Structure 1
Amino acid sequence: IDGKEAHRIGLANQVFSHDKLIDGAKEMARKISAMRPAAVSLTKATCRVIYDMDYHSAWRYSEACLAILNSLDADSGGPDWRKKRWLERKRH
């Protein structure tokens, strides 16, 4: 299937023309780099783990991971990923 069809059926959340692809990828990278590191790491690990799971097992695993992230927020007094320490950290 092509990109437009993938977008239409929900397999892709964005579609770019060839000449806009690099700019689109850079924008997505900027958004991800501004996210809370623990959330990004756990999301990547979850994607790797659930790849071979059946739907219900993958859903339960994802819910457990979300609960972990929420408990990390509770331990730090709230969703700290928007605080300055994340947004103003040194970038390499």
Structure 2
Amino acid sequence: MITHQGGDVFQTDNRDNIANVQEVRVTQKTNNTATWVVLTTAVPRISNFTKGMKLTYNAKGTRNPNADNALEVTNVDGPSKYTCNGGWPINT
């Protein structure tokens, strides 16, 4: 498992629906996939993320695409906690 603090996560098709990330916990499932648990510091700016929604986590909290990670929400665990499927390893 890898833990990374900071960055931001946003709805892939609506970058304005964004939240700052407190921490992500990434657990490898296969050679190139992982389960991601994303903990945000507050609810997203426009509306809460929902199951099946495509998200982009930027580990740097910038617009640098090298730090982007494509995620899909598999479960909403709370207003600021999401379980997602995503790639492995994490792009930082």
TM-score (norm 1): 0.19
Larger helix fraction of residues: 1
Task: Pick the structure with greater CA Rg.
Answer: 1
Greater relative contact order (Cα < 8 A, sep 6+): 2
Larger strand fraction of residues: 2
